[in-house]
Structure 1
Amino acid sequence: MHLPAPLTDWLAKKGWTLHPHQQQMLDRAATPATLLIAPTGGGKTLAGFLPTLAELGTTPPPGLHTLYISPLKALTADIRRNLRTPVEGASLPIRIEDRTGDTSYTQRRRQRADPPHILLTTPESLALLLSYEDAPKIFQSLQRVVIDELHALAESKRGDQLMLLLSRLESLSPNLRRVGLSATVEDPPALARYLSPTACDILQADPGPDPDIAMLETEAPPPWSGGGGRYAMRAILDEVRRHRTTLIFHNTRAQAELFFHDLWLQNDEGLPIGIHHGSLAREQRERVEAAMAAGQLRAVVCTGSLDLGIDWGDVDLVIQVGAPKNVKRLVQRIGRANHRYNAPSKALILPANRFEVVECRAALDAVRDHTLDGEPRGPGPRDVLCQHILMTAASGPFDANDLFTEVKRTGPYTTLTRPEFDACLDFCATGGYALRAYDKWQRLLEKNGRWQLRDPRNAAVIRQNLGTIIDTETLKVRLRNRLGGTPLGEVEEGFASTLTPGDTFLIGGEIVRYEGLREMTVEVTRQPGRDPKVATFNGTKFATSTLLTQRILEIFQADSWPDLPAHTAQWLALQRDVSRLPQPDRLLVESFPHDGREHLCIYGFAGRNAMQTLALLVTKVMEDQGLAPLGFTATDYATLIWCLDPVTDAAPLFDLDRLREGLETWLGGNAVMKRTFRATAIIAGLIERSHQGRRKTGRQATFSSDILYDTLRKYDPDHLLLQVTREEAERGLVDFSRIEDMLARVGNRIDLIRLPRVTPLAAPLFLEPNKIPIHGTGRERMVEDAARRLMEEAGLA
């Protein structure tokens, strides 16, 4: 297949030639499914579009030819600009438009009647298009779907929804060809099966030169605990001065705000520096993006909001502050620097505390060895399938057998059984056993062998509630002024409820003073020079991946550590002398007295969520054994428990059956389950997040879901959504599977070591800020002992 002559001439005038993988994509234009893996800056997005440009040519027929799907709205706008450059430069009459939540109603309506040749959209907007009765007409001429950043979508329910939508598209357009684009893939065959389970070609481009990546050396050693990297502010400012443009990545939004504030205070030269994260107002993010594109900023402090795809060629350094927790994420972020083909990315990684030095070393070694991590995804979630069934019904009557066949064609749902599908269909039709008496949830009926909406007016409600992104309970923050309030961003509702007039907090890098709440909006004024509170933004707190924890444990087994800074190598050597270092196939448990309490330190290396869950379950066993636990704290690598009595036999604490029994009891009425149920119920369509075009508040949705959760637990404990909620909780917030994996790995090789004092490796855990108390017999004994001592002192005993 050849490109149109005007486009070939335009490329020649520019002095551009196709990369080998771009030419190969042209040669494979007729392949039903192709996964292209190419390095960041390698022109993979253009490679995905070249067959489309060749097929449309100089006289494109009317109708939609190609869908481009991106996980980010900003990415669709960026691609539209980049794609229009060659199309308009070659004067090709090809219409390229985007359709996202920001697209006007008038334009969306016109696109349905007269689709462009190339439509750039998101999974949510595609679901909405497919929910209309005229979907067969809109997509009748569709030939190709290009999915950008496929690896990012495959890790979430958005990707599961998208795969269902692609199968639906294939029913409307049987000759549809699929193209997946990605830069960071740990298991290409698995991602190819996800994209197309029947057959998918994998095309791997030349990966280019290895990145130039190192640990940032600082005069002062990192602190023993905490995060943020503020101890290295001067060193980071020196790097910003030495480079044209630097991206400074953080793992959470709160850390980014704190860091940006301190960086600005030490920025004596007034270097132009911005901040970018998902809780900032869209206007603020767009201003930073525009300044960045214009080369007006020397650095941007950012989070995952800049992980993907936006092409800023002038970025010549990336700094990752804090251990990346995930090698794939680190590689993705590194790729933002020198965003050009065959130009090595330059990056520095800064550990935020002493233990993270080891984790950063493990991440650097993994990048050097081209080893990526990725936790295996389970089967496609059934709450997403329920939403898909309702979406299909909104577009018109359907045959259950045909829809089941269609769903089974998707990668995430190839193992779905017919009884599981029928249970989802029954839920969509009636709400399930406990709810079928209520008209509200009687949504589908079967007529003449086909399923349809009981009330056609329900289609509008279904459309308003499509999507798998769950809105967090946030409130807008606006600057109080005469212009009606400049938007600054948003904060969590729970944080806002703790504020009283006069309190200060950080947002957008500036300190603001809370003035009051008006119409669900937090009104603030600028308040420089005060010590702020910090908003608890919804930035994800990542858990260290399984791959990285394995590599950390391997580092511990070395005889010496010449690649580690001297202060960290000495710390590990001291731990080995005093106790021992954790091993991959054994579980190290240390017991020692400190400050009048007994302490137990468990080095499980299972990630923060799992280690916290393990602490909850182990302390329950300790309570049953009369060991009087008082509290615990947990990190990615260890759990520290303090109690009144020493543990003399650790093995019973890790009996898997007993831990699972404790998990069942704990999950029963736990807030984690209620929060998970709320998200599941919204996605499955049991709870509306929007009604008649008005968004429900988080409080309204939570109130509804709590009542439903309690009702189902009492009257229908095997309800489909309770099953899904349990699966989601165990896999996500609780992460019990990593506890099971850890115990399977160590078997009965549990080493309990009794020591006279705190060990070097356990010491930093005492400095962790998040300490969780346990209210049990230990507290009661402390109160009784205090009362007895008081009475003795008063001569009353």
Structure 2
Amino acid sequence: MCDVPETFTDWFAIRGWHIHPHQRDMLDHAHNPTTLLIAPTGGGKTLAGFLPSLIELSLQSNAPGGLHTLYISPLKALAADIRRNLMTPIDEMGLPIRVEDRTGDTPSSRKRRQRADPPHILLTTPESLALLTSYEDAPRMFAGLQRVIIDEVHALAESKRGDQLMLALSRLQGLCPNLRRVGLSATVEDPQAIASFMSSASDPCTILQADPGPDPDIAMLETETPPPWAGGGAAYAIPAVLEHVKAHKTTLIFHNTRAQAELFFHNLWLANDEALPIGIHHGSLDRQQRERVEAAMQRGDLRAIVCTGSLDLGIDWGDVDLVIQIGAPKNVKRLVQRIGRANHRYNAPSKALLVPANRFEVVECRAALQAVRAHDLDGDPRGPGPLDVLCQHILIAACAGPFDAAGLYQEVTQAGPYTSLTQDAFDACLEFCATGGYALRAYDQWQRLQKRSDGLWQLRDPRSARLIRMNIGTIQDTDTLKVRMRRARGGKPLGEIEEGFAAALTPGDTFLIGGRIVRFDALREMVVEVSRDAGRTPKIATFMGTKFATSTQLSDRILAMLAQDDWPELPSHTRDWLDLQRQVSHLPSKGRILIESFPHDQREHICVYGFAGRNAQQTLGLLLTKRMEDLGLAPLGFVATDYATLIWGLEPVLTADALFDPTGLRDGLETWLAGNALMKRTFRASATIAGLIQRNTPQARKSGRQATFSSDILYDTLAKYDPDHLLLEITRQEAMRGLIDFGRIEDMLARSRGQKSLLRLPRVTPLAAPLFLEAGRTPVQGAAQNRLLEEEAHKLMVAAGLDT
């Protein structure tokens, strides 16, 4: 058992604290090669990760210079917050330990100094670490590194940022053979999978699990006004939400998209008669505005913060005593993470409310509540490490100096995501990095590596290292333009909007950003200039954000609920809706695909209940309309939600077998993908990560249109002359796994074992009716359009037999 120095025990005693059991466990396992700690939010897991480092450094004579501990965070703001919190015990115990952070916001002068004279503890991000490993002096900088702490490791494991991080750690392990790794997380559905992800192939991982603490106090908000039949804004709930805000110290109000957050904040502010201090926080806002909101939260100045995933992770807001999730959470693990933001203290239950945005989300929210109470987290199995990230890693290795291909292959296969990487796949990536591949080898710009006479590989032109370093990273953000208030010499920055949205604006159009209504004035030098226009109704707030799809596990729970004989846990309006669906049609079930066929408004419709998530249901609509076209059924269009796809056309569908043949669906997918713009978008992202396309150059960053033009030409060239090119294969894999989500369509067919029920009905059904509102929904501007939408909803519900 590790002895805790008296300096530390005294510090804990002065604060009235004691070392938690899991913090003691971390000290006892401090010398393990890899350790994963799973502890509840507020349980002091970050301090548990740092305690061994602080004690080791305190026992060294005057804490000599050199990097001892590297802390990796998925968020720049989290790294800065951890530094502030870490300095408290260091200063109060008088420890001679230097702590610094290094992110994209760190001044260049400090970055240069950190490489020459690194601090004892460096807090950084995966991208900054990858950049550090690309320098020739990396072996000197990391020579004394003892420990790496990976915070919120579950969040990194879900993206290519995590794959890049594991490759960088494999490089560090080669430089520092005794390096110890620590992973910290509050929400892990499969601890062994995360342990395999973060450990090297040759070292086992010890999994420590803390007492999870009390279950959260979580409920669904029920209001006198029932939710609408469609939509995601939850405006009906604003009076009730405002009452809860008044009854608590600080409330976080989470949304799934930035647009929904902007609209809800706007409506909440209009209803805020008592002028309670309320803020908004999301990734499209200007950094200074986000930092002001964060500082106000730390001071306890805000009663509510409307936010998105930008506040999902780790920052410690001690006064938050309520979390409200607006809209169905889509993913139980994400919901648990958000709930943990409330009562960020050990052994204190978190308090949360779920607010369904529409009628069907009442069912989904109830299913999510059941999953949280059952401690049933969702998550999909990790696939193998992506090859575009590996290509970037090879180029990073070349920047650091000549390398041996066999040695690099061995190093890469020590990284958890790449343990199954074949020699052939590695060789293909190396060949791509060296020449660009068969169709591109004649062009100098893609001849980046060369093999020396001694067998080592190196950069063909050492000057290219600068360009490679400028484009390190795997985050492919949406092409955005800065938004500024209009002034003679450039006004106050407000944030960013999508390039496509900006292109659709005409002078005088209004939109929401940062809770303000602004008027579009002009687009000058890739900056959107706006003026205040508080007296007008905004056109719309449009930020891509993240559009989540309901997880497979949550969909299964919803289907299990629908199979019940009754639903006493649901509000009466939702029970009546489901009862009527059962009377006039069927309720969807896990073992059979329900397909409804009916006429409405002089068009023929089919509704397919797949519960496969929005992306898969969207793909299903594309594939089915293509097959319907081939069969002469004259489809006109479709709309998809997480649970169903509604298609309308001129001819009725009377049999489903030809439409749902698995082989035919896959063949149709391949044909559709071959000429689809989605493939070009996916190719552009992978080509950027792999280093074929550079967004950043010494002169300027390419606009989205410039990058798209370049990548489209490359895609067309490779598709014509080199269809087996590595990047085209990567693109196909990414498309199938990402936006298309074809795997969930195949899972849907598998779980139903090919069983389908096609019901020919005389009219629209209760469960299908809300999809018509999805199909006809347009930006709502003013009371007249609101009334028209309400009248249309009423007509649809009457047609479906729901005349209440």
Shorter-chain TM-score above 0.5:
yes
2:338 paired with 1:337: no
CA deviations on 1:564-620 (whole Å, 9 max, x unpaired) are: 000001110111111110111110111111111111110000000100100110111
Which residue identity is paired with 1:576? R
2:385 paired with 1:377: no
Residues 507-586 of structure 1 mapped to structure 2, 5 A cutoff:
507-586=513-592
Aligned match for 1:731, one of 723, 730, 737: 737
Secondary structure in 2 aligned to 1:499?
Answer: coil
For residue 483 of structure 1, report the CA deviation from its aligned partner: 6.5
Q: Distance in 2 between matches of 1:533 and 1:404?
A: 54
Residues 163-312 of structure 1 mapped to structure 2, 5 A cutoff:
163-196=166-199, 197=201, 198-312=203-317
Contact 2:638–2:775 (8 Å) recurs in 1: no
Divergent runs of 4+, >6 A: none
Q: Distance in 2 between matches of 1:78 and 1:105?
A: 20
Which residue identity is paired with 2:156? L
Corresponding residue for residue 50 of structure 1:
51
Residues 449-468 of structure 1 mapped to structure 2, 5 A cutoff:
449-468=455-474
Corresponding residue for residue 359 of structure 1:
364
Corresponding residue for residue 396 of structure 2:
391
For residue 7 of structure 1, report the CA deviation from its aligned partner: 2.9
Secondary structure in 2 aligned to 1:648?
Answer: coil
Distance 1:142 1:693, change over 3 A: farther
Secondary structure in 1 aligned to 2:439?
Answer: helix
Q: Distance in 2 between matches of 1:733 and 1:450?
A: 39
Corresponding residue for residue 642 of structure 1:
648
Corresponding residue for residue 778 of structure 1:
none
Q: Distance in 2 between matches of 1:769 and 1:36?
A: 46
Q: Indicate the RMSD between aligned Cα atoms, in angstroms.
A: 1.1
Structure 1 unaligned regions, length at least 5: 773-797
Q: Distance in 2 between matches of 1:771 and 1:297?
A: 34
2:419 paired with 1:414: yes
2:475 paired with 1:469: yes
Secondary structure in 2 aligned to 1:435?
Answer: coil
Aligned match for 1:653, one of 651, 659, 682: 659
Aligned match for 1:146, one of 113, 137, 149: 149
Secondary structure in 2 aligned to 1:701?
Answer: helix
Aligned match for 2:74, one of 71, 75, 90: 71
Secondary structure in 2 aligned to 1:651?
Answer: coil
Distance 1:123 1:519, change over 3 A: same
Corresponding residue for residue 603 of structure 2:
597
Aligned match for 2:321, one of 313, 316, 321: 316
Q: Distance in 2 between matches of 1:217 and 1:35?
A: 39
Corresponding residue for residue 668 of structure 1:
674
Q: Distance in 2 between matches of 1:337 and 1:765?
A: 35
Q: Distance in 1 between matches of 2:434 and 2:687?
A: 15
CA deviations on 1:386-410 (whole Å, 9 max, x unpaired) are: 0000000000011111111111111
Contact 2:263–2:541 (8 Å) recurs in 1: no
Which residue identity is paired with 1:449? G
Contact 2:432–2:726 (8 Å) recurs in 1: yes
Q: Distance in 2 between matches of 1:455 and 1:422?
A: 21
For residue 419 of structure 1, report the CA deviation from its aligned partner: 0.3
Corresponding residue for residue 436 of structure 2:
431
Q: Distance in 1 between matches of 2:373 and 2:17?
A: 31
- Total equivalences in the alignment: 772
2:107 paired with 1:101: no
For residue 695 of structure 1, report the CA deviation from its aligned partner: 1.6
Residues 717-756 of structure 1 mapped to structure 2, 5 A cutoff:
717-756=723-762
Corresponding residue for residue 2 of structure 1:
3
Q: Distance in 2 between matches of 1:295 and 1:231?
A: 28
2:697 paired with 1:691: yes
Corresponding residue for residue 715 of structure 2:
709
For residue 538 of structure 1, report the CA deviation from its aligned partner: 2.1
Aligned match for 2:163, one of 135, 160, 163: 160
Worse overlay, 687-696 or 76-85: 687-696
Secondary structure in 1 aligned to 2:462?
Answer: coil
Secondary structure in 2 aligned to 1:324?
Answer: coil
For residue 693 of structure 1, report the CA deviation from its aligned partner: 5.6
Corresponding residue for residue 789 of structure 2:
none
Corresponding residue for residue 783 of structure 1:
none
Contact 1:631–1:771 (8 Å) recurs in 2: no
For residue 471 of structure 1, report the CA deviation from its aligned partner: 3.1
State the identity %.
Answer: 74
Q: Distance in 2 between matches of 1:693 and 1:358?
A: 53
Corresponding residue for residue 351 of structure 2:
346
Aligned match for 1:117, one of 96, 115, 120: 120
Q: Distance in 2 between matches of 1:129 and 1:590?
A: 57
Secondary structure in 2 aligned to 1:283?
Answer: helix
Secondary structure in 1 aligned to 2:615?
Answer: helix
For residue 482 of structure 1, report the CA deviation from its aligned partner: 5.4
Which residue identity is paired with 1:34? T
Q: Distance in 1 between matches of 2:105 and 2:700?
A: 17
Which residue identity is paired with 1:201? T
TM-score when normalising by structure 2: 0.95
Secondary structure in 2 aligned to 1:516?
Answer: strand
For residue 131 of structure 1, report the CA deviation from its aligned partner: 0.2
CA deviations on 1:238-267 (whole Å, 9 max, x unpaired) are: 000000100000000000000000001110
Secondary structure in 2 aligned to 1:55?
Answer: helix
Corresponding residue for residue 775 of structure 1:
none
Corresponding residue for residue 788 of structure 1:
none
2:158 paired with 1:136: no
Q: Distance in 1 between matches of 2:703 and 2:502?
A: 14
CA deviations on 1:420-451 (whole Å, 9 max, x unpaired) are: 00000000000000000111111111111111
2:61 paired with 1:34: no
Which residue identity is paired with 1:146? I
Contact 2:332–2:372 (8 Å) recurs in 1: yes
Contact 1:632–1:771 (8 Å) recurs in 2: no
Which residue identity is paired with 1:373? D
For residue 746 of structure 1, report the CA deviation from its aligned partner: 1.0
Secondary structure in 1 aligned to 2:655?
Answer: coil
Structure 2 unaligned regions, length at least 5: 779-804
Q: Distance in 1 between matches of 2:763 and 2:13?
A: 73
CA deviations on 1:277-334 (whole Å, 9 max, x unpaired) are: 0000001101111111111110000000000011011000000000000000000000
Q: Distance in 2 between matches of 1:47 and 1:118?
A: 15
Secondary structure in 2 aligned to 1:352?
Answer: coil
TM-score when normalising by structure 1: 0.96
Residues 75-94 of structure 1 mapped to structure 2, 5 A cutoff:
75-94=78-97
Q: Distance in 1 between matches of 2:479 and 2:517?
A: 22
For residue 771 of structure 1, report the CA deviation from its aligned partner: 8.1
For residue 744 of structure 1, report the CA deviation from its aligned partner: 1.1
